[in-house]
Chains A and B, each alone.
Chain A
Amino acid sequence: DAKTTQPTSMDCAEGRAANLPCNHSTISGNEYVYWYRQIHSQGPQYIIHGLKNNETNEMASLIITEDRKSSTLILPHATLRDTAVYYCIVRVAYSGGGADGLTFGKGTHLIIQP
């Protein structure tokens, strides 16, 4: 799977949009971009994923650049409960019968300030 690069930490004011970048310059055409977050000592929570089109759900929006080498996760109105570590993961669309384990990096620690 392609490697991802994320900032170690970011701050955002409560009520503002939080924009979390992810670089995946070696992504290949059959790889999706997934985002998870992990609130302290809990299991990772799925947020959103996409292939090449922008995606939106009730939690967030995912913007993928046209060349697919980077993406941005947008939390439109951040609250204190959004403070967490956010992981950007690139994952093949089909593992061909082999294991399909996710490769987590260290993620971005997003701190929402009151």
Chain B
Amino acid sequence: DAGVTQSPTHLIKTRGQHVTLRCSPISGHKSVSWYQQVLGQGPQFIFQYYEKEERGRGNFPDRFSARQFPNYSSELNVNALLLGDSALYLCASSFVQSRTTQYFGPGTRLLVL
């Protein structure tokens, strides 16, 4: 079975631009969570979507947003990019919102110049 997939694998943007990252969960999984991992740190929780609704977010500004589609795939959008947004963006899927294990995709490496 295919695991969590993310696209693109790498991306280079300029400060002030907008970026959209995509995630397809494991088949049958209904919840998607997004994480940001800057170099040298562990992943930081951004937000979680379940049944197409945001269920909560971590300490990230409103420049970060996402949505989940009827097929449970998800997009992460970041507006007005800053240099500090350079990071590995990880998507994790789980069968339901809680009580079930989260499985991570390979990530999208974003570089903001």
Q: Considering the complex, which residues of chain A in the window 35-88 have a beta carbon less than 8 Å from any beta carbon of chain B?
A: 36, 41-46, 49, 85, 87
How far is B56's CA from A97's CA once the two chains are assembled, in angstroms? 9
Contact assessment for B90 and A44 in the assembled complex, using a CB-CB cutoff below 8 Å? yes
B20 interface hit (Cβ, 8 Å) = no
By size class, the interface of chain B is 20 to 34
Q: Which of the segments B11-19, B36-44, B62-70, B77-85 contacts the partner chain? A: B36-44
Q: Is A16's beta carbon under 8 Å from chain B?
A: no
B55 and A99 contact, CB distance less than 8 A? yes
Say what secondary structure dominates the interface of chain A: loop
Does B107 make an interface contact (CB < 8 A)?
yes
Contact for A43 among B33, B42, B90, CB less than 8 A: B90
Within 8 A of B (CB), among A85-101: 85, 87, 92-95, 97-101
Q: Are A99 and B45 in contact (CB under 8 A)?
A: yes
Interface size of A by CB at 8 A reads 26
Which residue among B31, B43, B47, B103 has the maximum number of chain A CB atoms within 10 Å of its CB? B43
A residues in contact with B55, CB < 8 Å: 97-100
- CB neighbours of A45 from chain B (8 A): 104
Complex contacts, A93 vs chain B, CB 8 Å: 98-99
> What residue of chain A has the Cβ atom nearest to residue B106's Cβ?
A43
Q: Interface digits, B44-62 against A, CB 8 Å rule (1 contact, 0 not)? A: 1111100000011110000
CA of A93 to CA of B98, assembled, Å: 7
Contact present for B97 and A102 (CB under 8 Å): no
Residues of A within 8 A of B103 (CB): 46
Contact A103-B56, Cβ < 8 Å, known A42-B106, A43-B107, A94-B98: no
**A–B complex contacts, Cβ < 8 Å, 22 sampled:** A34-B101, A43-B4, A43-B104, A43-B105, A44-B92, A46-B102, A85-B42, A92-B98, A95-B98, A97-B55, A97-B97, A99-B48, A99-B55, A100-B94, A101-B33, A101-B47, A101-B48, A101-B56, A102-B35, A102-B43, A102-B45, A104-B42
